[in-house]
Amino acid sequence: MFTGLVESLGCVHRVSFGTAANRIQIESSDLAPKVQLGDSVAVNGVCLTVCQKEGSRLLFDVMPETVSKTNLSQLKSGSGVNLERALAMGDPVGGHLVTGHVDGIGTVVSRQVQGNAALFQIEASPGITDLLVPKGSVAVDGVSLTIVELKQCRFSVSLIPHTLKTTVLQYRQVGDQVNLETDMLGKYVFFYLRQVKEKSATPAAITADFLQQHGFL
């Protein structure tokens, strides 16, 4: 479990994607001394396990499923990555609870300067945006952000200068793909209500009245 507050910017040293094995080796002089073999680390929001450690370099095995459903497949030597260690009991939850199980990929469709902030608009599939709510939380490349606006299959997030400077989102431009993980609580509520709806004889949509009727509003 993670919080979406990036601890360190790592640099990809080597990637190997193939039929035999998918591996990523990342250099991080900040994070490497703090982790052990078997520890979980979020890499651009994807939960990976440290399988080898060589000085300041960490090696991760990546499952084919993860390669196909995240932007890790686009990494190359020299790429920057967001890194965060898993939560320990008693650690503060500064962002929101993030599992590291990415729901899918979104595409940056606009990036604008808004005062001292950067406003990103991201397009995603309905399967992802259906789980988002305005002012709710979403993890973008592992960064805990608040949804500013939600319209159909697009949503916007605003980044303060510190977040932009200390994460790989500073490099994201229009057309780039980002890993998305929706809020865990929202997913449980959504799937519970969907099951209730499917068991009901009334083919009603999940509306505000429906949510209120079942005690969620």
Average pLDDT over residues 153-163: 97
- Position 101 confidence tier, pLDDT thresholds 50, 70, 90: very high
Can you give the pLDDT at residue 201? 58
Mean pLDDT in the chain? 92
**Residue 137 burial (CB < 10 Å; 0-12/13-18/19+)?**
buried
DSSP 3-69: -S---EEEEEEEEEESSS-EEEEEE-TTTGGG--TT-EEEETTEEEEEEEEETTEEEEE--HHHHHH
- In three-state secondary structure terms, 176 is coil
- Of the candidate ranges 112-116, 176-180, 206-210, the one whose mean pLDDT is the lowest: 206-210
Whole-structure pTM value: 0.87
Can you give the pLDDT at residue 149? 96
Residue type at position 167: T
Residue type at position 129: T
Q: Are 137 and 97 in contact (CB under 8 A)?
A: no
Token output for 200: 């009901």
- In three-state secondary structure terms, 88 is coil
| Alpha carbons 131 and 156: distance in angstroms, whole number | 14
| Alpha carbons 206 and 204: distance in angstroms, whole number | 7
| Alpha carbons 59 and 26: distance in angstroms, whole number | 6
Share of the chain above pLDDT 90, in %: 78
Domains and CATH numbers, the chain: 8-85 (2.40.30.20), 104-186 (2.40.30.20)
DSSP 149-195: EEETTEEEEEE-HHHHHTSGGGG--TT-EEEEEE-HHHHHHHHHHHH
Is residue 203 over pLDDT 60?
no
- Nearest-5° angle of CA 158, CA 77, CA 144? 20
Residue whose token pair is 């697009």? 154
Average pLDDT over residues 63-77: 95
Q: Are 24 and 12 in contact (CB under 8 A)?
A: yes
Is residue 189 over pLDDT 60?
yes
